[in-house]
Each structure stands twice: as structure tokens, then as C-alpha cells.
Amino acid sequence: MNEDWLYSDKVKDHFMHPRNVLFNEEGFRPDGRGVIGNIKCGDEMVVLIKVDKVKGVITDCKWKTYGCASAIASTSVLSELAIGKTLDEAYKLSSRDIAVALGGLPEHKIHCSVLGDKALRAAIDDYYISHGMGDKVKKEREHIICKCLGITDAEIENAVLEGARTYIQLQERTKIGTVCGECKEKSIKLMEEYKAKHFPPK
Amino acid sequence: MRKRTVYLDHNATTPLHPEVKKTLIKSMKAFGNPSSLHKFGREARALVEKAREEIASFIGAQHEEIIFVGSGSEANNSVVNILYCPAWKGCVGQGGLAKKRRIITTKIEHPCVLESVACVEAAGIGVTYLEVDGYGKIKLEQFKEELGKGDVALVSVMMANNEIGTIQDIKGICEITHQHGALFHTDAVQAVGKLPVDVAELGVDYLSFSAHKIYGPKGIGCLYIRKGAPFCPFIRGGHQERGRRAGTENTLGIIGFAKAIQMRRLEMQAETRRLLSLKKRLRDGIVKNIADVSFNGHPEDSLAGTLNVSFAAAEGEAILLYLDMEGIAVSTGSACASGSLEPSHVLLAAGTPQEKAHGSIRISMGRDTTKDDMDYVIGRLTGVIRKVRGISSVQGDAKYE
């Protein structure tokens, strides 16, 4: 561990000098807005985008985050990654992309604090819906089940495909429901559905 | 004010007292094994036993009633282990106790108690975790009710809480415990050397404490075992500590521990008064400069140097790391910092909402802390909270229920 700092230098830089923070909420008119997380779980973020409607390119991205150093740094770096990207490109940004751009993050931090990509997708969807392009919202769009950690139904499905059969196994793979536990019932129901879908009883 | 270094994490550990450091350096030559019969051994033995007298008398114990262990955690584990030990009946030799198969502790103990208790629980011993009120004090009614069930072998309640500083009425709790025929242990790691502690007056059966919280070296703890109280060694295979804790004595650690205790005798009283006034200065400064704050722990029955505060709309790890950049070292009850996803179990047990627990920091002062330090912290903390709240998606107190 670096004796000067807990995380990478890149994280330090973005933590100490966060980019594109939304300081003037009144003066910024976003084309799309996405919120993810919950302060009860320790992290919450808001991502706002402005879009060049002709080119379909994100021209500006502002954010606010309640959370730890890596939550702040990861939203900051996400805003840099998003600006200049087409909506399709931006939609594909993952938490891994954010971690890489930050020069690495501890594994447990990726699960709990890197939620910006999900907030960005929510902002893009919001843009599509509010600009009469609701059909562009991905049909198989992921739904967030665990609000604390931003874990989606698609991740539950993946975990089932990778072998999770019990709630404990699902938690081991995804960390779902390990904070407030509110989503337990819902995620078990989904897990059972995916089990039935992919591994029907013979 | 110019940037300075301010260490405010004394509940985590303390720097060596300069006198302890001097004593340690002088004692480096005492390398003999205290168990050896020759001159080298005898010299080391004499130093260990002199230190034992110093430490035992500080807490009002007889010298044979204390054993040296590796840490406060080991002392606590050793006590809980008495119940777990498969040799319980033979080893302990207290008829009747073996039939009692339950332990009572609290929800705000240090993890070294909670986890060792969870371990005996897995082995089939019943455990009751007492609730605490909003200040972190145990609820005596619940306690009496639980004891009344008659199957309790051991009660373990910490004297002063490491996170919020709340001090329990150990004498009273111990009396009630004994009225019901159970044994009583207190984790006094945060108390010995900060508060007057006298085992005879308190009446406790076991008491744990440690050197590095009071300007002594790390790696040395102490367990008081009342004469006649059952005990079963946690570490076996040696006659050291009268067969109660095997392993060659940590001679230097023990010598340093005794010196630290000696210095506590001289400094504790005046330091407590000084720390109380520093804490008031800090608390007033925070209230004056920063909106939407709340303090955790008991307003009076609290460690003089401990202040635990929650900031609305600001997350603890972010606060801690921005303060670190300003040269200020504190700790936080936020989940992020601990590597777990849950915020402080102590704050949650005291009924603090999750979002307030995530936004808490613990400031623990010590013998080197000055008024200027407090003023510096108030100034920098004000700036840091402004910065964190500026970035925060949570606006002011709006989302607090």
C-alpha cells in the first residue's frame, strides 16, 4: 500500500480535484438525468447529461455524489469518459472501464462505490424517453434490483448461468442484498425464474 | 493557520510516551529468558515481576491476579474461551457453573468480544446481546430480566466504548451479575489509564486492558483474573504466568507497559481535565461553524478525549481522507472505511440512522493534543465539510428522516 495515499494516484487526483461537479444546479439544464444508490447504503449519485441531438453525442456531463473517496473519484472520471462519446458508446461504459481509467481500485470498492456507469445509463434512458425516443430504450434494459449496490436483473441472470442456485451462492457472486437486505425477496423470486428458464426441471 | 500534523486517533493507538521510549531503550539489553535459572534469566525475571507489581497495584489487584498476554484482544478472547473450553469442568473446577450455558454481552462490544462470543455460540452456548439506549448505555431492565433466567455463566460488558466513548456503570452491572451468581468480565482497554479503575472496588472477576492505548508499546496486554475465579488457559504448553498463559514473556513489552502505567499515575488526572476542556472547545467550534451536525455517545459519562460526530449529507471516508490531506488523522464509522458494507455496529446499536452512521467521524485526543490543534481542526474541518457537501448529491438535511 502506498504510504502517501490509500488508492492509486489517479484516484487521488480525481478525489482532490473532482471534474465536472454540478455546482450550479439552477443554471444547468440537462437533457437527461439519472440517479442511483441510496444514502442509507453509503453511496448515492446523480448524473446529468447534455446531448447534441443531431449527432447523438454527449456534449456535457455533470454529477453529484454522496459517498467515499472512490465513489467521488469514479463519478468524476466517468464524467470525463462520457463527454464526447455517442449515446451508444456511452451506454456501453462499464464499472470496469471506470476502474481501469482510475488506474485500478480494490475489488470490494468496485462493487460498492462504482455506480456512475449505471447512473449514466439511467440518464441516457431518461434522455430517450423525454425526447420522444422511448423506442431506443433498450428493450432488454436492465432493471436495478439491489438499490444499495446497483445490482441488476441481468447480473442475477448471469450469476444463475454461472452456477448460483441458492441465495447464499447468489450473494457470493454478486454481493446482492448484503447492505440493507430489502431486495432479498425480489431477488430470490428472480433467481428462481431464471433457474426455471435456463435449467427447467426434467 | 499553517498546515500542521494533528494525530486525533488515540483510541486506535497512541504514540510511545517519551519516558517509555527511554526506558525501553535502556532495557534492550535484558534479553534473558525469565524462566532461565542463570543470571541472565534472573535479571529478566526481576524486571518482569517488578513491572507486574507496578501494573497490578495501579488497578488495585494483587500481583498474582494479573497475567500478561499479547493484546487486549487476546485478553478478551481468553475470558470468553473459558466457556468454550472442552475441559471446562475439569479445568475450571467450579462445580455447578458447567450447567450454566449462557453468556450475556452487549451489542456495542469490540469485535474481539463479539466474534469470540459468536464462536462459542456456534459451539452450542447461548448468547444474549444486550440492547443499548441512544447514548450507548445498556438497558438495565433487559439485563436483569435476562439474568433472572438463571442459566447465565458469564457477563461481559465493556467499561468505555472505543467508538463513542460512553462509560457504563460497571460497579452496578457487576453487582447485579453477582446477585445472580454469574461471573463478570469487563473489557477496560479504553478505560484503564484514562479513568480511575480499581478492581476491588468494582468487584469484577476479569478485566482486560492494554499498553498501546496509554502510550505504551504494542503487542502487550494484561488480564486481571480475580483470585479464585475460574480460568482455563487460552494458550497452553508452558508454566509461564502460573500456567495461565504459555509463551516466553514479552519482557520489553512488559517493562514498557509498567513505565506507561507509572506515567499514567502522574499524568492521568490533570490530563482528563485538560482533555475535557479541549473537547468542549472542539465541540463548540464545530457547532458554531458547521450546520446539521449531531454528536454520538453520552454527553457526560464519556471518555474525556473522545468526540464522535455525524455530519448530514457528508460521507465519513471522504471526510477522513480530505482531513488526512490536511494533516489531520481521525477515524470513521462509515462502512467504506472498514472494508465491510455496514456502518459502525456501535452507532447502529445506539439507534443512529444508517445515513448518520455513514457520515460519522471519531476524534480521539491525547496527551499531546493542544488548543491550537483544536482550532486548526475546527478551521480545516469546516472547509472539508463544505467541500464534501458541495459534491454531495444529498442536499443539506433534506433527506434526513
- Is A35 touching B (CB cutoff 8 A)? yes
What is the domain class of A142-202 according to CATH?
mainly alpha
Contact A41 B315 (CB under 8 A): no
Interface test with A, best of B310, B311, B315 (most A CBs within 10 A): B315
B329, A6 Cβ separation under 8 angstroms: no
Tens digits of residue pLDDT in B44-93:
999 999 999 999 999 999 999 999 999 999 999 999 988 766 554 445 44
pLDDT at B96: 44
Q: Give the closest-approach CA distance of A198 to chain B in angstroms.
A: 31
Are residues B30 and B164 located together in one domain of the fold? yes
pLDDT at A100: 92
B33, B44 Cβ separation under 8 angstroms: yes
Q: Which of B60, B58, B66 is nearest to B224 (CA)?
A: B66
Task: Report if residue B401 sits inside a domain.
Answer: no
Q: Does this chain's domain A1-140 share its CATH topology with A142-202? A: no
pLDDT at B79: 94
> Per-residue pLDDT for A38 more than 90?
no
Fold of A1-140: Sufe protein. Chain: A (3.90.1010)
| CA pair distance B216, B13, nearest whole angstrom | 9
Q: Give the closest-approach CA distance of B316 to chain A in angstroms.
A: 7
ipTM: 0.86
Cβ neighbour number for residue B297 with a 10 Å cutoff: 25
B181, B154 Cβ separation under 8 angstroms: no
* CATH code (residue B203): 3.40.640.10
A112 assigned to active site: yes
> Per-residue pLDDT for B400 more than 50?
no
Q: What is the SS3 assignment for A150?
A: coil
Reported confidence tier of residue B362, pLDDT bands at 50, 70, 90: very high
**Nearest residue in chain B measured CA to CA from A12:** B321
Are residues B174 and B89 located together in one domain of the fold? yes
Tens digits of residue pLDDT in A142-194:
678 887 777 888 888 888 888 888 888 888 888 888 777 788 888 898 899 88
- Is B131 touching A (CB cutoff 8 A)? no
Are residues B139 and B220 located together in one domain of the fold? yes
SS (H, E, C) B113-164: HHHHHHHHHHCCCEEEEECECCCCCECHHHHHHHHHCCCEEEEECCCECCCC
Are residues B194 and B54 located together in one domain of the fold? yes
Contact B391 A108 (CB under 8 A): no
Task: List, as ranges, residues 137-196 from A with C-beta within 8 Å of B.
Answer: 148-149, 175, 178-180
- Is A71 touching B (CB cutoff 8 A)? yes
Task: Report if residue B31 sits inside a domain.
Answer: yes
- Among partner residues A16, A44, A109, which is closest to B394 by beta-carbon distance? A44
- Is A108 touching B (CB cutoff 8 A)? yes
Are residues B118 and B155 located together in one domain of the fold? yes
- Among partner residues A15, A45, A179, which is closest to B321 by beta-carbon distance? A15
Amino acid identity of B71? Answer: S
Q: Which of B323, B313, B396, B304 is nearest to B355 (CA)?
A: B313
Are residues B144 and B217 located together in one domain of the fold? yes
- Among partner residues B339, B342, B393, which is closest to A44 by beta-carbon distance? B393
- pTM (2 d.p.): 0.89
**CB-count exposure of residue B195 (10 Å: 0-12, 13-18, 19+):** middle
Contact A64 B392 (CB under 8 A): yes
| CA pair distance A116, A47, nearest whole angstrom | 7
Q: List, in sequence order, every residue forming a beta bridge with A62; answer none if it has no partner.
A: A48
The total domain count for chain B is: 2
Are residues B63 and B137 located together in one domain of the fold? yes
CA torsion sign, A150 to A153 to A155 to A159? positive
Pairing assessment for the beta strands B183-187 and B152-156 based on DSSP bridges: parallel
Task: Report if residue B397 sits inside a domain.
Answer: no
Task: Report if residue B63 sits inside a domain.
Answer: yes
Q: Which tops the pLDDT comparison, A164 or A139?
A: A164
Domain housing B35: 18-263
Which of B205, B231, B263 is a domain's end point? B263
> Per-residue pLDDT for B205 more than 60?
yes
Are residues B259 and B336 located together in one domain of the fold? no
B163, B295 Cβ separation under 8 angstroms: no
Are residues B156 and B214 located together in one domain of the fold? yes
- Is A44 touching B (CB cutoff 8 A)? yes
- Where are the domains positioned within chain A? 1-140, 142-202
> Per-residue pLDDT for B113 more than 50?
yes
| CA pair distance B161, B111, nearest whole angstrom | 12
pLDDT at B95: 40
Cβ-Cβ contacts under 8 Å, A149 against chain B: 341
Task: Report if residue B359 sits inside a domain.
Answer: yes
B185, B155 Cβ separation under 8 angstroms: yes
Task: Report if residue B298 sits inside a domain.
Answer: yes
Are residues B349 and B238 located together in one domain of the fold? no
**Nearest residue in chain A measured CA to CA from B388:** A66
**Nearest residue in chain B measured CA to CA from A73:** B318
> Per-residue pLDDT for A111 more than 70?
no
> Per-residue pLDDT for B275 more than 50?
yes
- Is B343 touching A (CB cutoff 8 A)? yes
Mean pLDDT of all residues belonging to chain A: 87
Q: Which of B224, B168, B176, B221 is nearest to B198 (CA)?
A: B224
- Among partner residues B314, B325, B354, which is closest to A40 by beta-carbon distance? B354
CA torsion sign, B366 to B367 to B373 to B378? positive
Are residues B374 and B235 located together in one domain of the fold? no
**Nearest residue in chain A measured CA to CA from B399:** A39
pLDDT at B312: 95
- Among partner residues B313, B315, B353, which is closest to A68 by beta-carbon distance? B315
What would the DSSP string read from start to end of B9-33? BTTT--PPPHHHHHHHHHHTT--S-
Are residues B222 and B309 located together in one domain of the fold? no
Task: Report if residue B110 sits inside a domain.
Answer: yes
* CATH code (residue B272): 3.90.1150.10
Cβ-Cβ contacts under 8 Å, B317 against chain A: 68-69
Mean pLDDT of all residues belonging to chain B: 92
Tens digits of residue pLDDT in B321-334:
999 999 999 999 88
B247, B259 Cβ separation under 8 angstroms: no
